[in-house]
Amino acid sequence: MKLTKQQEEMLGGKYSEGTATALKIQIAVGESFGAERLVPITRAHVALSNQDADLWFAEKLLKAGAKCKIPPTVNPGFCLSYFQKVTTISEEDASLMQRTHEAYKALGAVLTYSCTPYLGGNIPRFGEIVAFSESSATPYVNSVWGARSNRESAQSALCAAITGLVPEYGLLTDENRQGDILVEVQAEMKSDFEYQLLGYMGKKIGNGVPVFTGLPKYVTPEAHMNLGAQLNTSGAYGLYHIVGVTPEAQTLEAAFGGKEPKRRVTITDEDLQGILQEISEEGARKIDFAMFGCPHFTISQVQEIAKILAGKKLKSEMWILTSSYTKELAERMGLLEVINNAGGHIVEDTCPDQPCWHHLKGKLGVTESPKCAYYPKRRGLSFVIRDLRTCVEAALKGEVE
């Protein structure tokens, strides 16, 4: 890989041993993908996990003198102050969360603790080169905003934030951003929920960059979130195009760069129902809780829940995970009061894949997010997957059909 003089100095330790380590890692990643050079970034998002290896890596770079040249926003761990009030948090888990907070604070991260930075203050321009980890964030900034990021890990994104650089390969290049799979959607896309299921069709879509046709001309931000998050969960997609909707796919020809697609796939209502049956626990049974916000819920989604809950009482626990910004809005708008009065919780800074949910281990919940159902399985949580209204109504009744 060709390095500039400044990059050679960085590699030699001029700016700190931690910065040199970060650059060594990036050079190794770049060389494994055949990158010839490093290019500067202007934004970053780090999907911190609040787990041992993640914390070890962050503290290692910090102790070696690293600081973030590009202050990154960060993913959620869990809101320690909130869960210490409502459940028992072990000393080990509390320590991991507090140390994670202190490490990223000292590194110079922007402590947003949200998996939806692309809806808040970390919004890139078209064509801007960035380094985003987080399974919903990478496809959103690539597809909806037309920025350029590879599917960074938490560690490589942190290295990028420290050095201000990324190796140039993959989705940073024009040719790799062109679609190669034509996905003809013949299913009825009635709501944002169908985009969850469409995104989980990764096995049928196959490897590549999918180009969707047959979708409505207006796709809500929430539908884009759902589609990208589930595509990246089910098939590791960092970019998708929707003809006539996303900026690099105003026409079919533009989406494919004038080439013919390598594959053609048709998605029907039967396909969506089939994937739902495959990934959801069986319905028609008692449920213990409802969990929403993977990715973090928007204020529009919180409003939708509040309208259904107004004046009613929940029979099952309800947990709505949002950014701190969205929770503040919900409080100002009276939505938090409505949901609290019904017996529900709005929790900021928290992810479903965290140790704070130990009290739900072995229990059955409902969610509208396949991603939410997927990751907490290893923690003993099981989910029936339904559309949002059905989930909320199930929490009110204490059972799902």
Q: What is the pLDDT of residues 174-195, one digit of tens each?
A: 999 999 999 999 999 999 999 9
- pLDDT, mean over the chain: 97
Q: Burial code of 233-246, b = ≥16 C-beta within 10 A, e = fewer?
A: bbbebbbbbbbbbb
**174 alpha carbon, distance to own chain's centre:** 24
Q: Which CATH number fits domain 5-172: 1.10.10.60, 3.30.499.10, 3.30.1370.110, 3.90.1150.10?
A: 3.30.499.10
- 356 pLDDT higher than 90: yes
CB atoms within 10 A of CB 5: 7
Task: Compute the distance between CA of residue 397 and CA of residue 305 in angstroms, rounded to an integer.
Answer: 15
User: Do the first three CATH levels of 5-172 and 280-400 match, i.e. the same topology?
Assistant: yes
| Cα dihedral value 283, 395, 230, 97, nearest 10 | -130
pLDDT of residue 254: 98
pLDDT of residue 202: 96
pLDDT of residue 120: 87
pLDDT of residue 383: 97
Domain boundaries, the chain: 5-172, 178-277, 280-400
For domain 280-400, is the CATH number 3.30.499.10? yes
Q: Which two tokens stand for residue 225?
A: 């979130």
pLDDT of residue 284: 80
> What is the pairing mode between strands 38-40 and 165-167?
antiparallel
Q: In the chain, what's the furthest Cα-to-Cα distance?
A: 66
pTM given for the model: 0.96
Provide the pLDDT confidence category of residue 283 given band limits of 50, 70 and 90.
confident
Contact call for residues 346 and 330 (beta carbons, < 8 A): yes
